[in-house]
Amino acid sequence: MTIRTRFAPSPTGQMHVGNLRTALYAWLLAKSQGGAFILRIEDTDQARKVEGAVDFIYNILADTGLTHDEGPDKGGEYGPYTQSERLPIYKEMSEKLIELGGAYRCFCTPERLDSVREVQKEAGEQQKYDGHCLHLSPEEIQKNLDANLPFVVRQKMPLDGATTFDDEVFGEITIEHSTLDDLILMKTDGFPTYNFANVVDDHLMKITHVVRGSEYLISTPKYNLLYQAFGWTPPKYVHVSAVMRDAKKKLSKRDGDANYRDFIEKGYLKEALLNYIALLGWNAGDDREKFTLSDLVEAFSIAGISKSPAIFDEQKLRWLNGEYIRELSAEAFQKIAEPWIRTVVKSKTADVAYLCTLLQKRTEILSEIPEKVDFIEEIPEYSVELYTHKKMKTNPENGLQSLKILQPALEAFEPWDHAEMYPMIVKLAEVNDINKKKLLWSLRVALSGKALTPGGGTDLAAIFGKSESMRRLNSAIDKLEKEE
RNA sequence: GACCCAUUCGUCUAGUGGUUAGGAUUCCGGCCUUUCACGCCGGCGACAGGGGUUCAAGUCCCCUAUGGGUCGCCA
């Protein structure tokens, strides 16, 4: 029997990274064993529906490479794959379940339910349905139905005993039936709840392994009771623990930047992001940390999933992203870096390709590029104290001296060849009996107006070209002379 | 509050009765160097606490603590 897993998001907007990780694990489980990955849209809550959210899900799955074999857009043998299009199925199934004795109609109003809960809360009791409609006679039920009273369908829980199931990650879990509430399966609006739809659909769609967040761990026995009532075989369960923002808070949509798209917009590469979230709560059993998607397919196994919640560490993501950036070819890096460079550098003459070779080893996330290159467009206001560097024993006075040595040499330097410039300056330092580092430090400050730059003085000269370099050099000399 | 689950360096983790408790990241040193970064080398840093079981416990059991989850006509 081939493995079938599913990703079943509700179309409520952004793709949270915890959600993405669940999708990744489900996809990996299927693909690592030659199985199928199914996308199902769980839109049973009409109030929470968000326009465009389904397309957004398609885009992310396509973008990350977690492609599905069956889904609303691709079809498949077990469709429709959108729950709002399966309403007749749930209706039929719920009626069947009532016949089977696994469920009953409940005509209680939300107001009555609230007050029951209120009373239970005051008394310090467990809050659960009080069974009011459980023993309605067939006549009473018919009367209510004839009166068109709205009703929900509730699952009838056994009163005693316990259900045990064996989770693939957490092991054996046992829940006493006495703690179970009679779940609502069908709402008054004719839509199923998750509690019902997931069971019906997972069964009908022949899902073999249910991968989902650990918040469902405790409800799983309720679902198994449903399977049992129908006479179906439950799937295997793979519950994965939460992704946390910090030790106390779960990563949540409300925290703002936990979304896939936000990370991409901040300049993270999708490969790095995916790699990182794979590692949050899973490991290959060895020391490897860098995985392509196909590496993951090869290495993935349920045994590597850990039980405890993992805190999302953006610092480590940054590092991983840097690793991915450094592995890019020069062309590939320039392609993704140039748009970021162009947000601040408008110059047509600056050598962007060369700039990129300098930037590549100095970039962890793309969004830090603009601040690194802003001096290229326009030299910032800077203090001549930048010429002071203790270790190199430089200061504005000898800085000026250095620039005056460099000025005629560079003026005469033809062609403006970067590879030749550095040895030329080294030689120039020797001739003038001055430390080459003094010359280079001053040159860098003169060209950039900054203490930290990608690359050194000759690198900057290469980026700017001769005319702009000489312009900056001369104006630096002017500036220093004025200060004297 | 009740129930379920978890707990190894700050963080992600390896570890399935006998290890100097390993790796990665962060941080700190050093080397390299045209500033910074990259790279390389090194360092700091953990078995939540208490009881058992055992010749031997991070590994098994119990209790406590802490944290998370669930208790919706949300999923």
Nucleotide whose C1' lies closest to the alpha carbon of residue A198: B75
Distance (Å, whole) CA A444 – CA A461: 9
Give the bridge partners for A184, in sequence order.
A154
pLDDT band at A14 (very low <50, low <70, confident <90, very high): confident
Comparing every residue's Cα with the C1' atom of nucleotide B10, the nearest one is: A313
Give the bridge partners for A155, in sequence order.
A103
A126 CB below 7 A from strand B atoms: yes
The arithmetic mean of pLDDT across residues A7-24, rounded, is 92
| pLDDT over threshold 70, residue A484 | no
Nucleotide whose C1' lies closest to the alpha carbon of residue A391: B35
The whole-number Å distance from A221's CA to B51's C1' is: 34
Classify A167 as helix, strand or coil.
Answer: strand
Look at A254 and A278; give whichever has higher pLDDT: A278
Note whether A370 and A344 are within 8 A (CB).
Answer: yes
Beta-strand relationship, A162-167 and A171-176: antiparallel
Number of alpha helices (DSSP H) and beta strands (DSSP E) in chain A: 19, 11
Distance (Å, whole) CA A463 – CA A460: 5
The whole-number Å distance from A454's CA to B41's C1' is: 25
Distance (Å, whole) CA A318 – CA A367: 11
pLDDT of residue A247: 64
Specify burial of residue A288 (Cβ count, 10 A radius: 0-12, 13-18, 19+).
exposed
pLDDT of residue A118: 84
Helices (H), A232-368: 260-265, 270-279, 293-299, 314-327, 330-342, 352-359
Note whether A410 and A340 are within 8 A (CB).
Answer: no
Phi, psi of A172 (to 5 degrees): -75, 130
Phi, psi of A188 (to 5 degrees): -65, -25
pLDDT of residue A12: 86
Distance (Å, whole) CA A66 – CA A37: 9
The whole-number Å distance from A394's CA to B28's C1' is: 27
Chain B bases near protein Cβ (<7 Å)? 1-8, 10-16, 22-26, 33-39, 67-75
Cα angle, residue A399 at apex, residues A397 and A403 outer, rounded to 5°: 125
Q: Is A253 a known active-site residue?
A: yes
> What are the pLDDT digits (tens) for A170-201?
999 999 999 999 999 999 999 999 999 999 99
Nucleotide whose C1' lies closest to the alpha carbon of residue A389: B35
The arithmetic mean of pLDDT across residues A275-301, rounded, is 95
A53 CB below 7 A from strand B atoms: no
Distance (Å, whole) CA A358 – CA A447: 16
Nucleotide whose C1' lies closest to the alpha carbon of residue A214: B69
pLDDT of residue A116: 85
The whole-number Å distance from A215's CA to B10's C1' is: 27
The arithmetic mean of pLDDT across residues A312-326, rounded, is 97
pLDDT band at A391 (very low <50, low <70, confident <90, very high): confident
The arithmetic mean of pLDDT across residues A223-231, rounded, is 97
Q: Of A49, A206, A236, A253, which is the active-site residue? A: A253
pLDDT of residue A361: 97
Residue A216 amino acid letter: Y
CA A129 to chain CA centroid, Å, is: 38
pLDDT of residue A248: 66
Query: Which ipTM was obtained for this model?
Result: 0.95
> What are the pLDDT digits (tens) for A321-362?
999 999 999 999 999 999 999 999 998 999 999 999 999 999
- DSSP track, A395-418: -HHHHHHHHHHHHHHHHT--S--H
Among A23-37, A85-99, A371-385, name the one with the lowest average pLDDT: A371-385
* Average pLDDT of chain A to the nearest whole number: 93
Nucleotide whose C1' lies closest to the alpha carbon of residue A179: B3
A285 CB below 7 A from strand B atoms: yes
> Which residues of chain A (289-328) touch nucleic strand B at CB < 7 A?
289, 303-304, 306-311, 313, 315-316, 318-319, 322-323, 326
| pLDDT over threshold 90, residue A24 | yes
pLDDT of residue A120: 83
| pLDDT over threshold 70, residue A471 | yes
The whole-number Å distance from A330's CA to B32's C1' is: 23
DSSP 8-state secondary structure symbol assigned to residue A132: T
CB count, 10 Å around CB of A207?
A: 23
Determine if the peptide bond prior to A88 is cis (ω within 30°): no
Encoded tokens for A267: 């300049």
Cα angle, residue A304 at apex, residues A260 and A32 outer, rounded to 5°: 75
> Which residues of chain A (436-465) touch nucleic strand B at CB < 7 A?
436-437, 440-441, 444, 451-459
Cα angle, residue A210 at apex, residues A205 and A211 outer, rounded to 5°: 135
Cβ neighbours for A371, distance < 8 A, ≥ 6 positions apart = none
> Which residues of chain A (175-234) touch nucleic strand B at CB < 7 A?
175-176, 179, 181, 184, 187-189, 191, 193-195, 214-219
pLDDT of residue A448: 96
Give the bridge partners for A152, in sequence order.
A106
pLDDT band at A115 (very low <50, low <70, confident <90, very high): confident
Cβ neighbours for A237, distance < 8 A, ≥ 6 positions apart = A165, A167, A168, A209, A210, A212, A220
The whole-number Å distance from A243's CA to B50's C1' is: 31
Distance (Å, whole) CA A318 – CA A366: 10
Distance (Å, whole) CA A367 – CA A154: 52
pLDDT of residue A175: 94
A247 CB below 7 A from strand B atoms: yes
CA neighbor of A42 nearest in space, from A77, A5, A72, A73: A72
CA neighbor of A12 nearest in space, from A73, A59, A40, A54: A54
| pLDDT over threshold 70, residue A26 | yes
pLDDT band at A376 (very low <50, low <70, confident <90, very high): very high
Encoded tokens for A362: 């100095």
Distance (Å, whole) CA A363 – CA A267: 10
CA A41 to chain CA centroid, Å, is: 19
Note whether A152 and A106 are within 8 A (CB).
Answer: yes
The whole-number Å distance from A119's CA to B1's C1' is: 14
Note whether A34 and A54 are within 8 A (CB).
Answer: no
| pLDDT over threshold 60, residue A257 | no
